[in-house]
Amino acid sequence: MGTVYDVAVVGAGPAGASAALFLAKAGKKTLVIDSDQSITKRAWIENHYGVEAIAGPDLVELGKKQAAKFGAELVAGKVTNIVPAGDGFRLETEDGKTYEAKQVILATGVAVELAEKIGLRTKPGTEPRIKTVIDVDPAGKTSVPGVWAAGTVAGCSVHTIITAGDGARVAINLISELNGERYVDHDVLKA
């Protein structure tokens, strides 16, 4: 048997990379599987707090770099199925690779096909041009225990600052559940 990750994040756009950053920084063995299809890759962004202006591809790469800095493992691939396996899930990619994780966060942007394939409850989207989203509870949990969702696919606004924040929020809720107490991550300026 190969590595079993604490959490696998599907998607490395703003929501997924932000979730992975928080998970890895909290010491969770984190895998990010990304198909390089983020709509952020087509964006020019001038409304992201703390960033004067940035090209979408640069923001995506910066987010992946931050997550990797804290130990998240990033792999290229498109997840085509998620099936229960042992105490968690087996994620299957279109190139035949498999990965195992105890928990999963879907951060697939506008794509809901994987969620629908694995039987997650969905609902109509409220954003322009977003027809369907995953139905999540206030913490980010889906209708399948152990599978969470964050960002646009979970019904958040498509704006990068909002999806990044939602990825962090869902990760903090998941970390809190795994730890059995509320998780807070605050760094202090170094003297």
Q: Give dist(CA 105, CA 1) in Å, integer.
A: 22
**Model pTM score:** 0.95
Indicate the burial class of 54 (C-beta count within 10 angstroms; 0-12, 13-18, 19 or more).
middle
**For tokens 């991550």, what's the residue?**
185
Strands (E), 117-171: 122-124, 132-134, 147-149
Q: What would the pLDDT profile of 50-80 be if each residue is shown by its tens digit? A: 989 998 899 999 999 999 999 999 999 999 9
Output the six-digit token pair for 62. 């910066």
What is the β-pairing status of strands 147-149 and 122-124? unpaired
All structural domains of the chain: 4-179 (3.50.50.60)
Question: Is the distance from CB of 50 to CB of 91 less than 8 angstroms?
Answer: no
Q: What would the pLDDT profile of 26-53 be if each residue is shown by its tens digit? A: 999 999 999 998 888 888 989 889 989 9
Q: How many residues are there in the chain?
A: 191
Strands (E), 111-152: 122-124, 132-134, 147-149
Handedness of CA 121, 79, 36, 168 (dihedral sign): positive
Per-residue pLDDT band for 118 (boundaries 50, 70, 90) equals: very high
Q: What would the pLDDT profile of 150-163 be if each residue is shown by its tens digit? A: 999 999 999 999 99
